[in-house]
Amino acid sequence: MSNLIVDVKDDVALIRLDNTVINSLSLELFTELNETLGRLNQEVRGLVMAGGTKFFSMGWQLPTLLTYDRTRMTEFFTAFNQACLNLYAFPAPTATAMQGHAVAGGCVLAIMTDYRFIAAGKPKMGLNEVLIGLPVPYLTDMVLRQIVNNRTANDIVCLGEFIGPDQALSVGLVDEVLPVEQVEARALEKIGAMAALNQAAQRAQKAHRTEAVRFFYERKGREFDQIFLDAFFRPEARELLQKTAEKF
């Protein structure tokens, strides 16, 4: 069963997460996303990520991940980071349309795109890893610091709080706050306008920005990923993760 719905119109791809209401992120979803991004890489001139009206994504599928041994969890974490890197470095312009909450792993996916549009009102964003005994993944931390200033990034990763649309806009985490019914249309409009511009120039400009992150992740990522996995299997983190998994 597919975890994604892909629609291409006017050379812009819309990838919709489609894994129950909360759009929990599984190994199967990341495997499919990596395959999809690889296929679309040279086929489209723009890409928009979307989810559901209640959740863009609640994050990782914790009840399943807590059954994994170290080998299987390493496979998951590798697929997750590869999907993040593939989305972040996707050569065409990208955006995320968030009609609902984008928290934890869902927030991670959102910050991997060039632009973020969120619905006004209830939706929350944030990286709560520290509250469940985990560091924010190395790749995620590097990308976040390209979007917001270091002081804001430190607050986001060290406090683990979820913030609403207006605060997300004020710190630069999102680009626009819109009525829920306008979010996807605005994201598609933005990327559609950019898709009409010179693609060779845009792809070169994007490579300028993303190459440094790719370089450092390829150089140090394996080391930091092992630190994350060590934390995931510590007893104190497992207890917190189990409590969080009960909300799924």
Domain span including residue 170 = 4-195
Digitized pLDDT (tens) for each residue of the chain, 248 residues in all: 799 999 999 999 999 999 989 999 999 999 999 999 999 999 999 999 999 999 999 999 999 999 999 999 999 999 999 999 999 999 999 999 999 999 999 999 999 999 999 999 999 999 999 999 999 999 999 999 999 999 999 999 999 999 999 999 999 999 999 999 999 999 999 999 999 999 999 999 999 999 999 999 999 999 999 999 999 999 999 999 999 999 88
Is 210 inside a domain boundary? no
C-alpha 53: how far from chain center = 17
For residues 33-49, b (16+ Cβ closer than 10 Å) or e, as one string?
bbebbeebeeebbbbbb
**53: CATH:** 3.90.226.10
Is 170 inside a domain boundary? yes
Is 202 inside a domain boundary? no
Q: What's the pTM?
A: 0.96
CB-based contact 24:76 (threshold 8 Å): no
Report the number of distinct structural domains present in the chain. 1
Residues contacting residue 160 through CB under 8 Å, at least 6 positions apart: 126, 127, 128, 129, 130, 131
Residues contacting residue 37 through CB under 8 Å, at least 6 positions apart: 83, 86, 87, 90
User: Treating both helix axes as pointing N-terminal to C-terminal, what angle do 138-147 and 150-159 enclose, rounded to 10 degrees?
Assistant: 140
Is 65 inside a domain boundary? yes
HSE at residue 145, side-chain half, CA atoms within 13 A, is: 13
Is 230 inside a domain boundary? no
- Helix (H/G/I), strand (E/B), else coil: 215: helix
Is 201 inside a domain boundary? no
Is 233 inside a domain boundary? no
Is 121 inside a domain boundary? yes
User: Treating both helix axes as pointing N-terminal to C-terminal, what angle do 138-147 and 70-88 enclose, rounded to 10 degrees?
Assistant: 20
